[in-house]
């Protein structure tokens, strides 16, 4: 089984979340993945994804190998397909963070071991597994409203799908031209029809945030978009999560996948306030991934 999109986890999503919440309490220092080796191929920077997968493997009795594409023959022109075929003979699974979503799809095509998308330009499924777990941890159920304000990016795409799968209501506020992927949106709407999740897209951050239970944002300039920085900072300015916007949702919990660009999408005051659960959310990457690794490699 591969996890390229969060949809790949649709059937076991809630079970994984409950298992992650349990592992958070029990620690999961078992030997359940003893003798297993996970490869971590990262074509872009990472703090949380890389470290939480490495530590999760360690806690479960397996090991993780960090594989920088630049130091592999991949960086000298060996094909992705041949790399996938060879690594499948050694490893029990691979996490891959790639610049292009299609590279992860291709890698999985030639792999005979589970492949987990560790972030692409299109989706970030392991992040959203932890995020939806965090919603359940703080709210006790999915009977809630999550407002996402900012860029309709990889995180937003997976969040739409994840929310639809569990029946969480989601409102997304983006500037014009920065909407989430239209195919993903249609898919999320289709799933939402069966789970009762309500999806709202708006240009108005106030409309999204008003009386929300969770307010989520992500960076305005994702990895690889640095040359668009100036335009993006201008276009997203009215979409900052600050005290004034949060006055419309005084009981909301504030989420961010991190890394944050403090002073851009979120103010210092908000991210450091008692409304913020961003570090609990970051911690939950570890627990959610343990649940996922046990499911895929156990
Ligand atoms: N949230 C997240 O994926 O962080 P990293 O880029 O540090 O892995
Ligand atoms: N949208 C961000 C998420 C980082 C975890 C990016 O792709 O850079």
Task: Express each pLDDT in 133-174 by its tens digit.
Answer: 999 999 999 999 999 999 999 999 999 999 999 999 999 999
**Residues 134 and 261 occupy one common structural domain:** yes
**Residues 120 and 131 occupy one common structural domain:** no
Is residue 31 predicted with pLDDT exceeding 90? no
**Residues 255 and 156 occupy one common structural domain:** yes
Kindly indicate the confidence band of residue 20, based on its pLDDT and cuts at 50, 70 and 90. Answer: very high
**Residues 108 and 230 occupy one common structural domain:** no
Rounded Cα–Cα distance for residues 122 and 102 (Å): 9
The answer to whether the beta carbons of residues 35 and 3 sit under 8 Å apart is no
Average pLDDT over residues 63-83: 94
Answer yes or no: is 184 within a domain. yes
- Tokens encoding 39: 């490869």
**Residues 119 and 131 occupy one common structural domain:** no
For ligand 1, the distance from its centroid to the CA atom of residue 119, given in whole angstroms, is 8
Answer yes or no: is 117 within a domain. yes
Among 41, 43, 47, 64, say which to mutate for ligand 1: greatest number of ligand atoms within 8 Å of CB.
47
**Residues 145 and 254 occupy one common structural domain:** yes
**Residues 15 and 83 occupy one common structural domain:** yes
Into how many domains does the chain fold? 2
Rounded Cα–Cα distance for residues 297 and 268 (Å): 40
**Residues 14 and 115 occupy one common structural domain:** yes
**Residues 119 and 143 occupy one common structural domain:** no
Q: How far is CA 248 from the centre of its chain?
A: 26
Least confident of 65-74, 137-146, 155-164, 278-287: 65-74
Among 50, 95, 119, say which to mutate for ligand 2: greatest number of ligand atoms within 8 Å of CB.
119
Domain residues for the domain of 206 are 127-281
Answer yes or no: is 1 within a domain. no
Rounded Cα–Cα distance for residues 78 and 210 (Å): 51
Distance (Å) of CA 260 to CA 185, 250, 287: 25, 22, 21
Answer yes or no: is 139 within a domain. yes
**Residues 14 and 76 occupy one common structural domain:** yes
Ligand 2 atom closest to the Cα of residue 222 is 8
For ligand 2, the distance from its centroid to the CA atom of residue 32, given in whole angstroms, is 31
**Residues 57 and 166 occupy one common structural domain:** no
Q: What is the CATH number of the domain that holds 180?
A: 3.40.50.1370
Tell me the average pLDDT of the chain: 97
Kindly indicate the confidence band of residue 73, based on its pLDDT and cuts at 50, 70 and 90. Answer: very high
Is residue 29 predicted with pLDDT exceeding 80? no
**Residues 10 and 142 occupy one common structural domain:** no
């Amino acid at each position: 089984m591969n996890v390229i999109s969060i949809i790949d986890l649709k059937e076991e999503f809630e079970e994984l979340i409950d298992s992650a919440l349990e592992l958070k309490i029990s620690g999961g220092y078992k030997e359940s993945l003893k003798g297993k080796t996970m490869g971590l191929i990262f074509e872009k920077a990472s703090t949380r994804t890389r470290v939480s997968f490495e530590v999760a493997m360690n806690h479960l009795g397996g090991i993780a190998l960090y594989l920088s594409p630049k130091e592999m023959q991949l960086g000298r022109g060996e094909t992705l397909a041949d790399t996938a075929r060879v690594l499948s003979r050694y490893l029990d699974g691979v996490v891959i963070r790639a610049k292009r979503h299609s590279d992860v799809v291709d890698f999985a095509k030639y792999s005979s071991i589970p492949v987990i998308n560790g972030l692409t330009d299109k989706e970030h499924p392991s992040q959203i597994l932890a995020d939806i777990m965090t919603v359940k941890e703080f709210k006790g159920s999915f009977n809630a409203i999550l407002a996402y304000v900012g860029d309709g990016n990889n995180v937003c795409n997976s969040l739409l799908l994840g929310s639809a799968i569990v029946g969480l209501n989601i409102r997304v506020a983006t500037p014009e031209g920065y909407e989430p992927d239209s195919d993903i949106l249609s898919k999320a709407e289709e799933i939402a029809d069966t789970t009762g999740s309500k999806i709202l897209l708006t240009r108005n951050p106030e409309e999204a945030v008003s009386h929300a239970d969770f307010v989520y944002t992500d960076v305005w300039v994702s990895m690889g978009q640095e040359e668009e920085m100036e335009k993006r900072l201008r276009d997203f300015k009215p979409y900052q999560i600050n005290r004034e916007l949060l006055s419309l949702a005084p009981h909301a919990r504030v989420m961010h996948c991190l890394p944050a660009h403090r002073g851009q999408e979120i103010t210092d005051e908000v991210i450091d306030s008692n409304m913020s659960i961003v570090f609990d959310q970051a911690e939950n990457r570890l627990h959610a991934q343990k649940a996922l690794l046990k499911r895929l490699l156990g």
